[in-house]
Structure 1
Amino acid sequence: MLSCRSFSSSGSSAAASMGGRGLEIHQVFRPASMGGIRQMPQLVTGNGFPAVMVRLMSTSSTNASKAKKEATKGKGEKEAAKGKGEKKEVVVNSYWGIEQSNKLLREDGTEWKWTCFRPWETYTADTSIDLTKHHKPKTMLDKIAYWTVKSMRFPTDIFFQRRYGCRAMMLETVAAVPGMVGGMPLHLRSLRRFEQSGGWIRALMEEAENERMHLMTFMEVAKPRWYERALVLAVQGVFFNAYFLGYILSPKFAHRVVGYLEEEAIHSYTEYLKDLESGKIENVPAPAIAIDYWRLPANATLKDVVTVVRADEAHHRDVNHFASDIHYQGMQLRESPAPIGYH
């Protein structure tokens, strides 16, 4: 026979499970197995139901609730799958209220397919610029800059030889670095000193973006091999850090280096054009991205692309030599307005 203490414990736990409803211990008379009558205690709830029955009812209710949730979940998944099959276009609205702008159209009414640049960022290159201009190194710093660039040309010539498509791709991965690196110190200086930049931050960023678009164009022309991609990683890592250090130590030296780099780029693209004109390199149709970016005619060829890219490099040459000259005169770049929009 169970002790009264055990019934007391069971009563407490049952009361807790019933949300505070009390349990009573009733004496129930049942027939004895050997004849006669013996008295057995039984737990009964305050509502008059036996505790065992209440527990069974609670378990049954819980199981029914779980079954209902699972049925609802399964129904929801089926409806979602059905809806997913029926949906053809999903419109994503940002939680922050930022929505995609309306589709842009070209002048002929066709849809603008580029997201990396917009119609108002396109332009017609000025190919009338003087390609023969050269800044003669006079000071010791200029001579160091000049011969530094010349020394970088020899291994490039050996590696790429006359594969000018791959050479242009490699050149643009490096040429897009100085504008970004030069814009960062000017940006931070403007923030620290609460002063205007004279438009030079924007001018240098425009240069970096223009060089990047050169790369996007030549990626369509020359498919780089795996070792050329690896070389890009190595060269860009070294050049970025070296140029950043050089710009911090001497901005006039850094801009002069870029000026001479652009002169070498003009030379490379001129050789590229010679091979295109002589038939050594096939004059394939211009990539679609180049036609839209430079506003070239629909029947433009690779020769047209190289011509406008060479003109861009000549403009970058002038901008960087101009920036170096400003520093040589003992002034800051912000003291002289930047040639914004001068590709």
Structure 2
Amino acid sequence: MELHKHRTPEDFRDHIALCFTKFLRFFADTFFSGRYAHRAIVLETVAAVPGMVGGALQHLKSLRTMQPDKGWIKILLDEAENERMHLMTFIEIAQPNWFERFLVILAQGIFYNLFFVLYLLSPKTAHRVVGYFEEEAVVSYTEYLAGIENGTYENVPAPRIAIDYWKLAPDARLKDVVIVVRNDEAGHRDVNHDFANQLS
């Protein structure tokens, strides 16, 4: 799997999706500068929303139209569960304080409603947004990994929840967790860009 690749926007909706993603990236870089585990907590609670919203709306569409979903529902719900496990893992690592937990609630409440409306209006744009989100996630986790490797961040033992979920070695460390999470994000990137292409 190619980790670092970028899909060049092709139309107005693609440009909107990319600009929205860059705006959120600016916010994350400003607020969580150098605090990647804490940043991951807030971003992963947002990242777990699109798959659930998309899966539910595709499910309802399949019921309404009485047509098969081409496997999209399971893929999207699996993506939502995978992103939730990222969140559960980084909660164990970062131990967020009350303010960061409040940010999780706030970010999820705002983003869920925005994304729900976006998916109703333009599923293609919604999937493109997620594709660009995941491109940025790959970049962020690559930076996090570099910080672990150069000693900026302590390479702590991997939490049990991560070892069990990804079937890591019993002595796995944070570096191993970041690598598998980054691979997940690259996979979600490709899936969502592909879905957006199919909806073009």
Give secondary structure in 2 for the equivalent of 1:172. Answer: helix
- Counterpart of 1:261 in structure 2 is 133
* Separation of aligned partners in 1, 2:173 and 2:103: 29
Q: 1:309 aligns with which of 164, 172, 181?
A: 181
Contact map agreement 2:42 2:107 (CA 8 A) in 1 = no
- Does the alignment pair 1:281 with 2:181? no
- Counterpart of 2:18 in structure 1 is 146
Q: Which runs of 4+ in 1 moved over 4 A?
A: none
* Separation of aligned partners in 2, 1:232 and 1:218: 13
Give secondary structure in 2 for the equivalent of 1:176. Answer: helix
* Separation of aligned partners in 2, 1:326 and 1:193: 18
Q: 2:85 aligns with which of 213, 222, 237?
A: 213
- Counterpart of 2:61 in structure 1 is 189
* Separation of aligned partners in 1, 2:157 and 2:36: 16
- Does the alignment pair 1:292 with 2:175? no
- Counterpart of 1:173 in structure 2 is 45
* Separation of aligned partners in 1, 2:24 and 2:169: 36
Give the CA deviation at 1:233. 1.2
Give secondary structure in 2 for the equivalent of 1:197. Answer: coil
RMSD, matched Cα: 0.8
Unaligned runs of 5+ in 1: 1-128, 329-343
Identity of aligned residues (%): 60
* Separation of aligned partners in 2, 1:179 and 1:189: 15
* Separation of aligned partners in 2, 1:249 and 1:256: 13
- Counterpart of 1:198 in structure 2 is 70
Instruction: Kindly report which structure 2 residues correspond to 1:92-131, keeping only aligned pairs within 5 A, or say none.
Output: 129-131=1-3
Give 1 or 2: higher strand fraction: 1
- Counterpart of 1:137 in structure 2 is 9
Whichever residue aligns with residue 2 of structure 2, its letter is D
User: Is the deviation greater in 279-288 or in 184-193?
Assistant: 184-193
- Counterpart of 1:156 in structure 2 is 28
TM-score of the superposition, structure 2-length normalised? 0.98
Q: 1:227 aligns with which of 85, 99, 120?
A: 99
Whichever residue aligns with residue 270 of structure 1, its letter is T
Give the CA deviation at 1:193. 2.0
Contact map agreement 2:4 2:139 (CA 8 A) in 1 = no
Give the CA deviation at 1:167. 0.6
TM-score of the superposition, structure 1-length normalised? 0.58
* Separation of aligned partners in 1, 2:166 and 2:121: 36
Residues 12-56 of structure 1: per-residue CA shift (max 9 Å, x gap): xxxxxxxxxxxxxxxxxxxxxxxxxxxxxxxxxxxxxxxxxxxxx
Give 1 or 2: higher helix fraction: 2
Whichever residue aligns with residue 83 of structure 2, its letter is E
* Separation of aligned partners in 2, 1:165 and 1:132: 21
* Separation of aligned partners in 2, 1:163 and 1:327: 37
Contact map agreement 2:48 2:80 (CA 8 A) in 1 = yes
* Separation of aligned partners in 1, 2:64 and 2:143: 45
Give the CA deviation at 1:186. 0.9
- Bigger-Rg structure (1/2): 1
* Separation of aligned partners in 1, 2:194 and 2:10: 15
Give the CA deviation at 1:153. 1.0
Whichever residue aligns with residue 298 of structure 1, its letter is P
Instruction: Kindly report which structure 2 residues correspond to 1:73-84, keeping only aligned pairs within 5 A, or say none.
Output: none
